[in-house]
Chain A
Amino acid sequence: MISIQTADFNQQQEYDRLRASTQIGAVVTFTGLVRDFNQGESVTSLVLEHYPAMTEKSLQEIVAIAQQRWLIDEFTIIHRVGELTVSDQIVFVGIASAHRGDAFAACEFIMDYLKTQAPFWKKEVMEDGQSRWVDARETDQDALHKWQI
Chain B
Amino acid sequence: MSDPVGHLAIHYGGQGCRLLDNRPRHPQAVLSGRTVEEAAALLPRLFAVCGVAHTNAFARAVEAARQQTASPEVEDARHRAEQLEVVANHAWRFAITWATALGMAPRLDGLKQARDGQAADDPHMAAAGLRRLLEEEDGPVERMRDQARRLTGTPGLPTCRQPLGWPGAPWWAEAMRRADFIDRPTTLDGRVPAVLPRDADPGPKTGPLGIATALVAAARQSLVRLCGPRSRVVESYPFDLNAGIGLAETARGPLAYRVHLDGDRVVAAWAVTPTDWLAVPEGALGRAIAALPPGAGQEERLRLLVGLYDPCVPVQLIRTPAEGAAVDPSLAATREAETRAMETGADA
Tell me if chain B binds chain A. no
Interface residues of B, Cβ cutoff 8 Å to A: none
- Which residues from chain A sit less than 8 Å from chain B, CB to CB? none
